[in-house]
Amino acid sequence: CRNLILILGDQLSADISSLRQADPEADVILMAEVMAEATYVPHHKKKIVFLFSAMRHFAQELRDAGWTVNYVQLDDTDNSGSFEGEVRRAVRRLTPERVVVTEPGEWRVLENMRHWQDDLGLPVEIRTDSRFFCDASTFRGWADGRKQLRMENFYREMRKSTGLLMEGDKPAGGKWNYDAENRKPAKQDLFMPEPLQFEPDAITQDVLNLVEQRFESHIGQLEPFWFAVTRAQAEAAFHHFLDEALENFGTYQDAMLRGEKFLYHAVISAYLNAGLLSPKNVCEKVVEAYYADNCPLNAAEGFIRQILGWREYVRGIYWLKMPGYARENALKGSRPLPAFYWTGETSMKCVQEAVGQTLEEAYAHHIQRLMVTGNFALLAGVDPVEVHEWYLAVYADAYEWVELPNTLGMSQFADGGLLASKPYISSGNYINKMSDYCENCDYNVRKKTGEGACPFNALYWDFLDRHADELGTNPRLGQPYATWRRMPDDTKQEYLDSAKAFLAKLDAGERV
């Protein structure tokens, strides 16, 4: 063949740049399920099913459109287990003139690809991934010479350059950011929307069987499996969100409720990140909904900010700062990740809910990730690498380019404040305000120290005390540090003793 076009598992978009100017008569597409990628962290079973099934469906769609697709299944006898091995085998089989691929979402894989040209002895063209609003070099240009790389500034530039929610050169409604309206706690509601769910078809059923056999030791519940696995299904799921949940998306964005796994969230990140949905398209649809009076501005702006702002910004940071970024540990976290992250077996109701639904669905919404599991790990001084590997493994939407900056930067402050201007920490009070978890918890959120007190309370002050050198002069922490300094010594000591006793129990592997 002329070109061998490699399509990776998160490149399931018909307009992917590797297919540009390709010719179904002359070129062959290669897709491969490889063990190295499925196991380098112990991915959640549902995540593996989602990706393999979506890949198989995409390959089928390409064939239906007239392409020749060489698809290597995980169990194929000669499967070498790595991308490189599969490309090598395909080159031998098909003797192409060159290999074409869209850049991967992970530094490790890109580094490996850069050697292929020499190793294979033929041209390897690595193309920019044009599915994003902002490519790595444009981000670098934005970042160049700036003292601070704040998301908000980047986001405003992106609003201007795309024209999304812009009225002339002004932001719609006159303000750039309606976040202040997006912090309401939610109430239990019989009419809470649910994401659209899909029955597994024969292809998905095959993959379910494969994963059950081959990834038995991986975490997570395999069934019920209800994710979209094709672009048409993912679009239906997104339209369902537009009709049922977008209206309240902004207002309850930070809320958490017992048993409510999705609230008014879109539950589309796995689809976006695998390429089944286009970020440009979903943003345009939300702008349309706003101008058709189908949602308020705080919902539309809040949603656009997540995708046009945060999602693009974390990707920019990732490519700007790798590979060193993955090893940063500004607060020197060193505690192993507690075992309950893998089992949900803890008496802290908030953690139990967040981890429990993660194991069930390979999904938790942002505030659960940030202010429950992330907050706890940060307060407890867990090694950020272990935290990162957990997030990368357990969520269906997790790829290093998006997961690492969110975990290591935003959630664990391990980059020393490059991404977040202050650590996202809180005592039990915030969790109580934003959720109904605490009412149903074995711990008492109002009790500050001692037996039965919510562990977040003492851990919070212990964290601030422990990190006074690094964080004591942070202007955004001025208030809590002033409160801490004003506290009588014996009160301080009670907090510190309480935290110490809790961490000792944690380290001893006792149930906490």
- Distance of closest approach, residue 295 Cβ to ligand FAD, in angstroms: 13
CA–CA distance, 192 with 163 (Å, rounded to integer): 33
- Distance of closest approach, residue 411 Cβ to ligand FAD, in angstroms: 4
Answer for the pair 327, 321: CB distance below 8 angstroms, yes or no.
no
- Distance of closest approach, residue 277 Cβ to ligand FAD, in angstroms: 9
Phi, psi for residue 101 in degrees, rounded to 5: -150, 150
HSE-CB at 97 with a 13 A cutoff on CA atoms is 5
Tell me, by CB under 6 A, how many residues bind ligand FAD.
28
Nearest to 447 by CA among 457, 433, 459: 457
- Distance of closest approach, residue 87 Cβ to ligand FAD, in angstroms: 26
CA–CA distance, 433 with 444 (Å, rounded to integer): 14
Using the rule CB under 6 A, give the single segment among 37-45, 106-114, 305-313, 344-352 that binds ligand FAD.
305-313
124: left (phi over 0), alpha (psi -120 to 50) or beta: beta
- Distance of closest approach, residue 302 Cβ to ligand FAD, in angstroms: 9
- Outline where 16-106 has alpha helix (H): 35-39, 45-64, 83-94
- Hey, which residues between 313 and 332 contact ligand FAD (CB under 6 A)? 314
- Distance of closest approach, residue 241 Cβ to ligand FAD, in angstroms: 8
Identity of the amino acid at 41: V
Nearest to 71 by CA among 92, 96, 88, 52: 52
Nearest to 308 by CA among 130, 106, 134: 134
- Distance of closest approach, residue 510 Cβ to ligand FAD, in angstroms: 26
- Distance of closest approach, residue 458 Cβ to ligand FAD, in angstroms: 23
Answer for the pair 228, 236: CB distance below 8 angstroms, yes or no.
yes
Choice between 102 and 357, CB closer to ligand FAD: 357
- Hey, which residues between 355 and 414 contact ligand FAD (CB under 6 A)? 365-366, 369-370, 374, 391, 395, 397-398, 402-403, 406-407, 410-411
Choice between 268 and 499, CB closer to ligand FAD: 268
Question: Is residue 307 within the footprint of ligand FAD (CB under 6 A)?
Answer: yes
Choice between 410 and 414, CB closer to ligand FAD: 410
Choice between 207 and 392, CB closer to ligand FAD: 392
Helical pair 151-162 and 136-143, crossing angle rounded to 10 deg: 120
- Distance of closest approach, residue 292 Cβ to ligand FAD, in angstroms: 20
362: left (phi over 0), alpha (psi -120 to 50) or beta: left
Choice between 131 and 448, CB closer to ligand FAD: 131
Who's near 511: CB < 8 A, 6+ residues apart? 345, 346, 347
The residues pairing with 72 across neighbouring beta strands, listed in sequence order, are 32
Choice between 285 and 448, CB closer to ligand FAD: 285
Question: Is residue 306 within the footprint of ligand FAD (CB under 6 A)?
Answer: yes
- Hey, which residues between 261 and 300 contact ligand FAD (CB under 6 A)? 265-269, 272-273
Choice between 364 and 441, CB closer to ligand FAD: 364
**Concatenated DSSP letters for 196-237?**
------HHHHHHHHHHHHHTTTS-S---S-----SHHHHHHH
Choice between 72 and 219, CB closer to ligand FAD: 219
- Distance of closest approach, residue 120 Cβ to ligand FAD, in angstroms: 31
Angle made by CA atoms 349, 351, 353, in degrees to the nearest 5: 70
- Distance of closest approach, residue 304 Cβ to ligand FAD, in angstroms: 9
- Outline where 227-321 has alpha helix (H): 231-244, 246-249, 269-274, 279-291, 297-304, 312-321
Choice between 218 and 369, CB closer to ligand FAD: 369
HSE-CB at 242 with a 13 A cutoff on CA atoms is 20
Choice between 203 and 322, CB closer to ligand FAD: 322
Choice between 456 and 484, CB closer to ligand FAD: 456
- Distance of closest approach, residue 303 Cβ to ligand FAD, in angstroms: 6
Question: Is residue 142 within the footprint of ligand FAD (CB under 6 A)?
Answer: no
**Concatenated DSSP letters for 427-490?**
-HHHHHHHBSSGGG-SSBTT--SSTTB-HHHHHHHHHHHHTHHHHTT-GGGHHHHHHHHHS-HH
Alpha-carbon distance values, 465 to 295, 408, 423, 453, 460 (Å)? 44, 21, 14, 19, 9
- Distance of closest approach, residue 284 Cβ to ligand FAD, in angstroms: 14
Handedness of CA 119, 125, 130, 131 (dihedral sign): negative
- For residue 415, what are its two tokens? 């980059």
Choice between 56 and 261, CB closer to ligand FAD: 261
Answer for the pair 333, 384: CB distance below 8 angstroms, yes or no.
yes
Question: Is residue 231 within the footprint of ligand FAD (CB under 6 A)?
Answer: no
Choice between 70 and 273, CB closer to ligand FAD: 273
Residues engaged in binding ligand FAD (CB under 6 A):
265-269, 272-273, 303, 306-307, 310-311, 314, 365-366, 369-370, 374, 391, 395, 397-398, 402-403, 406-407, 410-411
